[in-house]
Structure 1
């Protein structure tokens, strides 16, 4: 029997895809023929919304105020860090299927666009480069979900995920690569893509660019703990692409923030699934860490009738007034995130003035002038904690917190995280160093690949 994951994907493609080709017949059957076909393929809604929305459920700042026992629904199982999210075999594999589906779409372009006769060689290389970048970005999610945190001493042995390049459903499924192999592939593919990427993606921030490639590299090196390389590429992302942070002090509300496709601070845009009208419920503890004058609190959390946040579940993330697809947070690469990577590197290097200055570039655009006080400190740990705190405020509920939790846990910086039923009863704890910081391979995938070793 062929060891293949595509069997899990094709049914999802045929039944649920918004892509016009997938509505006709499965991938790998109809061939794309023109540059326009491939260009439209890369504009697929499936690619724009590729970040799994369920990542926010893993977040320590996320709550489900009405959670009830027994825990059976997939989202509730994700929220409580269960070993498996769906027990039915065969069946759905949340998160895993979403990411590999997207990789499949990118592989279609990578494998075949250079072989068509339409268009120029430069156009064909550009489209392949964008697909290489997109695939690398998806693998960055996968390696930071289903593998241990990067450790240079063990990365060549720690198992990660299969690196799939085929679009033929009859091809044998590759085995699990190591963490080092996946990171090498990510970096290698982005470096291969860079010479052929467009210098400007202002017409559509969901598409690849030179700045987007450096932004993904910055995030990659951040998760590898190579902070100097992360800051280097963050700086290159800012110098080759957008370098403007949307100034909330000039806006009335989040309604005034334009769509991520055109947003001036979006280097590489993504949305967290088709969740334009959904909400996330923050914990009371997280809400209480905000400065009450912070415009991010005003723009993205509602209702705010009690600044002590005394009632669990009352205040939600994402302002109800934000129109669909407009002020929706960017789950991809932003100018603010690059600034925060530079600030974190400076703090870790004890360059505290530089770290505080980088924070200032962001924070003064999140408070009215009358309410703003620049943060300064001469204590390394205090500055680093402030940078990490600002990451939490700025990147809230964009699927990124789980990755920060993992790398901070590896440094001994994460406390125990508890989950409670609606009646206040403790139902689950994510302890420091827990094996649950690495997701298990879904049973539905192991069903087709029984020789694979399961994560602890």
Structure 2
């Protein structure tokens, strides 16, 4: 209990959340110290619930959307949309740095305290394995928001984020290097792999990690690290558990639903309703689609007047962190990077057959067959842009690949994010810097 209270002292956000919770508070005022498996499961559930909806905010920084100048929430997002990180209005929404550490706090309670209190069981192993996986995922997103993109040549010196793994009030929470944080992410991932025993989670509980979700996360980690062979292996492992794709020819529904056939981990609402109602689809994104033959166009977007709006996100049913489509595209990209064009082409054709009508698929199959490595990688990148529109993946994909130039307009003024702009890495939020001068 002493350790828990120390953690609460360090994590300001956790103090606010925990003080309203039934767990992690002092007994004399009628609260409960976690002791049983059910208690600790409730604690981890709070950790899952605390995982923030930051994917919506990073979509603001991409080439996917146009922010409506006349929306009620415009003032909260305009500086994010114009990449004005250094002199943002005080009412600008902060990226949820503290929210991700709040999730880490709950995961650490399980990792550090549950093991010594709970009797050995499969349920205990599953619980602690989930905590390791959730901590790894939180650090992965923290690093890809606030740390430099992974570069094996410079990762050992590039600035990452602080690691808080155990209670130590004397510790100076100084950002570790990108390499060090990835080392911790991979370590947590391996601990999770050792402990998790549920292949998949039942619908309604699939916000929790499973073996399938862990392998899906592993494939994303290795893709970002450019560990192509490992990314393929992880994708193949995940596909043994979840390989079904929504066939838009037969079932024209969004593939992001928590209860859909593609769902692997349904933790996040990746495009919240406020932003969904305050934006519309950019011409860059619209132009990326074959609007006649690509079946996603009619499923992902709706037209109103002269503008197109997103259908994804903003609903409880649409929770999506990992889904099967990503596994196919990761495997295809990684195979192409290794110049295994046969596997890459076979994999991408399997995927697009579920996304294009027969005419579109037949045309593309001929074109793909003739592609060289560069052309195929370009096509797979474009498929990722089309497939994961408004799911929070575009910013991360741009960071790890081209870091292209993007232009946005705010109230008639032009703002440009130049190619390889340092603003592809977010600064730590002001409140975090005030609370921790080491940042």
Quote the Cα distance in structure 2 between the aligned partners of 1:248 and 1:220: 28
Q: Secondary structure at the match of 1:294?
A: coil
Say which of 340, 344, 354 aligns to 2:343. 354
Aligned-partner Cα distance in 1 for 2:186–2:39: 28
Structure 1 residue corresponding to 2:423, chosen from 436, 439, 455? 436
Indicate yes or no: 2:179 matched with 1:180.
yes
Taking a change above 3 Å as real, the CA distance of residues 325 and 272 of structure 1, as seen in their structure-2 partners, is closer
Structure 1 CA distance for aligned equivalents of residues 270 and 32 of structure 2: 26
Tell me: higher relative CO, structure 1 or 2? Use CA pairs within 8 A at least 6 residues apart.
Answer: 1
CA shift digits 1:286-333 (9 cap, x unpaired): 11221113222111211267xxxxx4xx211116xx89323x262x12
Greater share of residues in helix = 2
- The residue number in structure 2 matching 1:58 is 61
For the structure 1 residues 10 and 38, does the alpha-carbon distance in structure 2 shift closer, same or farther, using more than 3 Å as the test? Answer: closer
Are residue 265 (structure 1) and residue 269 (structure 2) matched?
Answer: no
Cα distance in 2 between the residues matched to 1:62 and 1:274 = 12
Q: Could you tell me the TM-score, scaled by structure 2's length?
A: 0.85
> SS of 1:345's equivalent?
helix
Q: Which runs of 5+ in 1 are unaligned?
A: 306-310
Aligned-residue offset at 1:65: 3.4
| Within-5 A mapping of 1:30-429 | 30-44=32-46, 46-47=48-49, 50-52=52-54, 53-66=56-69, 73-84=75-86, 93-117=94-118, 120-166=120-166, 172-203=171-202, 204-239=205-240, 241-254=241-254, 259-260=257-258, 262-272=259-269, 275=272, 279=276, 280-292=279-291, 293-303=293-303, 311=306, 314-318=307-311, 324-326=315-317, 328=318, 330=320, 332-373=321-362, 374-375=364-365, 376=368, 377-408=370-401, 413-423=402-412, 425-426=413-414, 428-429=415-416
Query: Which secondary structure state, in structure 2, belongs to the residue aligned with residue 303 of structure 1?
Result: strand
Distance 2:132 2:423 in 1: 30
The DSSP-based 3-state class of the residue aligned with 1:145 is helix
Structure 2: distance between partners of 1:439 and 1:93: 11
Counterpart contact for 1:155–1:180, Cα < 8 Å:
yes
**RMSD over aligned Cα atoms:** 3.2
**Cα contact 2:24–2:34 (8 A) shared by 1:** no
Secondary structure of 2:316's partner? coil
Cα drift, residue 160 of structure 1: 0.6
Unaligned residue ranges in structure 2 (runs of 5+): 1-5
Match of 2:14 among 10, 15, 38: 10
CA distance in 1, matches of 2:65, 2:406: 11
Question: Quick one: distance in 1 between partners of 2:360 and 2:152?
Answer: 44
List per-residue Cα deviations over 1:146-205 (Å, max 9, x = no partner): 11111222211111101112468x564521111111000000111112121023223122
User: Is the partner of 1:191 in helix, strand or coil?
Assistant: helix
Please state if 1:446 is matched with 2:437.
Answer: no
> 1:42: Cα distance to partner?
3.3
Query: Which whole-Å CA distance do the structure 2 matches of 1:389 and 1:39 have between them?
Result: 41
